[in-house]
Amino acid sequence: MIPTVEFSLIRLLQPPQRTKLAAMMPYLNTAEGSRPTLPVDAYHLRTPAEEYDLNCVLPLRVLESNGVRLEPFIPSLHAEYAFSLLQDAENSQLYRYLPYGPFATLPEFLTWLEQRIRSDRNACLFLITDLSRPLPEGEHADPMGRVAGWIGLLNISLPDLVAEVGHVTVLRRAWKTHVNTHASSLLLQYLLSAQPSGLALRRVSWLAHGDNENSNAAAQRLGFVFEGTVRCAKLLREDKDGGVVDSVRGFGRAEEGKFRDTNVWSVTWEDWERKGTEGHVAALLAREVKPAKGWKMTNGV
């Protein structure tokens, strides 16, 4: 702490001298309160489901349509199988437009889940099961053989009654099916519908990489309203798809990595209640979902 005598001296000095002396003083600035970076570990891989704390400010439950089921992601039940699916060659590009991943090991995946999801009270993740697929049969069949991906909520603010749909990871085997539409629609219904069936939030947002045509098209298909583009919204690793900074002014700008422009989409309570989005989403969920063939087992799972 700076002694009182120094503050008294500053008050006696003329403005130019006062500014010069203040610039020489050290400032205490610890940035306490930020979440520490966790060491890589198999977090909660063996924690029983009934003991695993989802740690989210929203009440979480299973959500289901005639095409998919969303259930809170629990590491001991879901992580090993989910991670095994990410190892397929066809899923190698799933993280192309996301600021994190891919994950080389199961502990890396679990560390991300602990750091980015469970440690943040304003975030959660749901496993997506495709109900149009038959239940796996046979001696080595796994009931999780219908997993189609996962989807989450982030940036939840109860004081502001807002949330964001994100962490959307639909496996390639479920592309061009009903899965993403149904999973996202179920979350919209739960977040925006009036109580007691829903949470009656005021706004739900969807943030998409500016170059991710599939994500932007999905937002439009779901009835989100385009609000604009936030330029240079995120710093990206060099291995990610994004813009390249070609500044010539030296280290600190060009060398720090690529950047991402983010398209912002939203649905507000007014869109939901008065502008037809509630009916639009209900119609999407009401479409017929025909039974489909089961997926082949991969990676020995």
Q: What is the pLDDT of residues 245-291, one digit of tens each?
A: 888 776 667 677 799 999 999 999 999 999 999 999 999 999 999 99
Residue 300 forms part of a structural domain: no
Residue 253 forms part of a structural domain: yes
> Distances from the Cα of 253 to the Cαs of 38, 237, 241, 258, in angstroms?
27, 13, 17, 10
Whether residue 4 has pLDDT greater than 50:
no
Residue 293 forms part of a structural domain: no
Structural domain harbouring 78: 33-286
pLDDT tens for each residue of 108-139: 999 999 999 999 999 999 999 999 999 887 65
Least confident of 31-45, 58-72, 226-240: 31-45
Nearest residue to 188 (alpha-carbon basis) of 60, 66, 263, 278 = 278
pLDDT tens for each residue of 171-198: 999 999 999 999 999 999 999 999 999 9
Amino acid letter, residue 98: L
**Which residues in 262-284 are b (16+ Cβ under 10 Å) and which e?**
bbbbbbbbebbeeeebbebbeeb
Q: What is the CATH number of the domain that holds 237?
A: 3.40.630.30
In this prediction, residues 210-220 reach a mean pLDDT of: 97
> Distances from the Cα of 22 to the Cαs of 5, 8, 10, 16, 31, in angstroms?
13, 12, 8, 10, 21
Please give the tally of structural domains in the chain. Answer: 1
What SS3 state is found at 60?
A: coil
In this prediction, residues 66-94 reach a mean pLDDT of: 94
Secondary-structure breakdown of the chain: helix, strand, coil percentages, each rounded to the nearest 5 = 35, 20, 45
Residue 298 forms part of a structural domain: no
Q: What whole-number percentage of the chain has pLDDT above 70?
A: 87
Whole-angstrom distance, CA of residue 56 vs CA of residue 257: 32
In this prediction, residues 189-213 reach a mean pLDDT of: 97
Whole-angstrom distance, CA of residue 196 vs CA of residue 200: 9
pTM of the model: 0.88
Beta partners for residue 258, in sequence order:
236
Write down the H helix ranges in 117-178: none
- Of 296 and 185, the one with more pLDDT: 185
Structure tokens at 206: 């969807």
Residue 17 forms part of a structural domain: no
- DSSP assigned state of 105: S
The values of phi and psi at residue 279, to 5°, are -70, -35
Residue 16 forms part of a structural domain: no
Least confident of 2-6, 82-86, 220-224, 258-262: 2-6
Whole-angstrom distance, CA of residue 74 vs CA of residue 68: 18
Residue 126 forms part of a structural domain: yes
In this prediction, residues 150-156 reach a mean pLDDT of: 98
| pLDDT, position 284 | 98
